[in-house]
Amino acid sequence: MRHAMKLGAWSPLLTLFGGTPSRSYVEVAPDSVTFRFGAFVARIPLADVSGASRAHWPLLGGIGWRIGPGAVGLIGSLQNVVEVTLRQPHRVRVMGIPVKARRVFVSLEDPEAFLADLAAARGSPQELRA
């Protein structure tokens, strides 16, 4: 199932860099989770997801495509952020910069629906926790 990213007030600026509503989502499939935000695309095998939960993204963390030690932020809004943790680091490219990410933060329109779909895909009846 596809889950729309929450883009918020910064969406006109994000659109300039490809962060349009049609290219900003997280998709849960039976075998993988795909993160898409403009040109950024990362497909993570479902078996590599170790947990997911609601998270806080600080104002100073910024909006847009963000990188940090072991983490990637796909942030269109400071609200409704979810953190997905991975069993092992995955190599991804953020605006051309290679990053080994063990955590992916993403702002979503409906984080609870995403967490429920992810838990169901993994065969867990409850919300995932990191």
* CA–CA separation, 36 and 39 (whole Å): 7
Averaged pLDDT in 10-residue chunks for the chain of 130 residues: 89 73 94 95 96 93 89 94 97 90 98 96 63
CA–CA separation, 108 and 122 (whole Å)? 20
Res 61: pLDDT: 86
The pLDDT assigned to 127 comes to 47
Domain borders along the chain are 2-121
Residue 101, H or E segment: strand 97-107
